[in-house]
Amino acid sequence: MEKTSKGHFFKSITRFEQAALVIALLAICIVFSILSSSFMTVLNITNVLRQVSLMVIAGIGMVLLLLLGEIDISVGSLQAAVGIASVTVLNATGSIILALLAALATGVVSGLLNGIIVTKGGVNSFIATLGTMAIIRGIGMVVTKAVSIPVRVPEFAEIGAGQLFGIPVPVIISAALVIFFYFVLNHTIFGRQIYAIGGNSEAAKLAGLPVQKIKLQVFVLAGVLFALSAFILASRLDAGQPIAGQGFEMQVIAAVILGGVSMSGGNGTLSGALLGMLILGVIQNGLVLLNVSSFYHDIVRGAVIILAVYLDERRKKNAAKQLLRSSNK
């Protein structure tokens, strides 16, 4: 019985969609390895993974928010603010731990700010974070007078560039986080509640779920994840740069949506999002290898965004059709 039930059928559609993503990823890899001999090398693949891992850490936060039916586009600005805060603390104290704490604290504060504006103020999260995006970027520019702060603690670079058992540290961190949040989303009460609230927040409220509290918690959690990726980015840049992370929000959001996470909440998986981010990462890497001018990167990125949103719209339409067919009366 189980196998034939419609529930499973629906799941297999999403699975099918992920299969399409896997195929797309493989195809892109094949094309690039034909076009460039340096693509399929251990060095380059490690490199791609290292780059993607930053997007993945922030992307987990974005997935949580999108599943709830919310969004945070201040993530790019936050990359700069966190970098500046942590490098300042690092240079002053020489302690990487304190620098990390400064980074996380910045993430918590920004997450709280966004979360409170959205939950208490009732402001739409796109608009709210559009505002904080400008504010946070502005603060970064003001405190640094738009000048990058170089790192004066050499060990700091190890976080972004270092390896453990031959695997880059950022890759290890992001893999651990993916596994952890996969568990959270699929096997804990918190995960169930996120999906339920994103699917129908009024029903969730009436069913006794603490909707506003969970939204606030997820904004803070996402802020912390964004800060973690920013911390590693600062290490890789070896500086606290006020222009860091420009356009990062669009990358992350596009990749996650490409991976099947719906913008309207309640639908999507972490594994799909991961595939979306890998695809975008590989494309960007391939373009660099092929010496394509960085202006074209923007064009490609823009195209990916439109494609991702188009796919999301199509999914939504199909879902609506399904619902019409199955909805009673």
Partner 1 sequence: MEGEFLLEVKGVHKHFPGVHALNGVNFQLRRGEVHALVGENGAGKSTLIKIISGVHNIDNGEYLIEGKPANIRTPHEAIEKGISVIYQELTLIPHMSIAENIFFSHLPNTRGKVNWKEVYEKTRELMSYVGLDENPRTKVGYLPVAKQQLVEIIKALSANAKIIIMDEPTSALSNNEIENLCRIIKELKSKGIGIIYISHKLDEILELSDRITVLRDGQYIDTVETADVTQDKLVSMMVGRELKDMYPRQACEPGEVVLEVKGLTTEKVYDVSFNVRAGEIVGFSGLMGAGRTELARAIIGADKRISGQVIVNGKAVPADATDKALEMGIGYVPEDRKNHGIFAQCCIRKNMTISALKQFKNTVKINRSNETLSVNKMVEDLHIKTPSIEQLISKLSGGNQQKVILARFLMMNGIKVLIIDEPTRGIDVGAKAEIYNILDQLTHQGLAVVMISSEMPEILSMCDRIYVMKKGRVTAEFKRGEATQEKLLSKAI
Residues that bind ligand ATP (CB under 6 A): 6, 325-326, 328
Cα separation, 113 vs 216, in Å, equals 9
Stretch in the footprint of Mg ion (CB under 5 A) among 22-30, 64-72, 253-261, 320-328: 320-328
Instruction: Select 131 or 199, whichever has its Cβ closest to partner 1.
Output: 199
Stretch in the footprint of partner 1 (CB under 8 A) among 69-77, 171-179, 203-211, 229-237: 203-211
Kindly list the distances between the CA atom of residue 298 and the CA atoms of 53, 55, 204, 274, in Å, as whole numbers in the listed order: 20, 17, 40, 21
Cα separation, 195 vs 68, in Å, equals 6
Examine residue 328 and tell whether it contacts Mg ion (CB under 5 A). Answer: yes
Query: Least CB distance from residue 9 to ligand ATP, whole Å?
Result: 9
Cα separation, 297 vs 131, in Å, equals 26
Query: Least CB distance from residue 312 to partner 1, whole Å?
Result: 14
Query: Least CB distance from residue 322 to Mg ion, whole Å?
Result: 17
- Tell which one of 44, 79, 125, 193 touches partner 1 (CB under 8 A): 193
Examine residue 327 and tell whether it contacts partner 1 (CB under 8 A). Answer: yes
Examine residue 266 and tell whether it contacts partner 1 (CB under 8 A). Answer: yes
Query: Least CB distance from residue 6 to Mg ion, whole Å?
Result: 17
Query: Residues 74, 123, 320, CA angle at the centre, nearest 5°?
Result: 90
**Partner from ligand ATP, Mg ion, partner 1, none binding residue 305, C-beta < 5-8 Å depending on class:** none
Cα separation, 323 vs 111, in Å, equals 35
* Residue 69 CB neighbour total at 10 angstroms: 20
Cα separation, 180 vs 157, in Å, equals 26
Tally the C-alpha atoms within 13 A of residue 140's C-alpha that lie toward its C-beta. 30
Tally the C-alpha atoms within 13 A of residue 203's C-alpha that lie toward its C-beta. 9
Examine residue 326 and tell whether it contacts Mg ion (CB under 5 A). Answer: no
Query: Least CB distance from residue 317 to ligand ATP, whole Å?
Result: 17
Render 160-187 in DSSP notation, one character per residue. Answer: HH-EETTEEHHHHHHHHHHHHHHHHHHH
Binding letters toward partner 1, positions 160-189, x by CB under 8 A: -----------------------x---xxx
**Partner from partner 1, Mg ion, ligand ATP, none binding residue 188, C-beta < 5-8 Å depending on class:** partner 1
Cα separation, 168 vs 22, in Å, equals 23
Q: Residues interacting with partner 1, by CB under 8 A?
A: 1-2, 4-10, 183, 187-189, 192-193, 195-196, 199-200, 202-210, 213, 266-267, 319, 322-329
Q: Residues interacting with Mg ion, by CB under 5 A?
A: 328-329
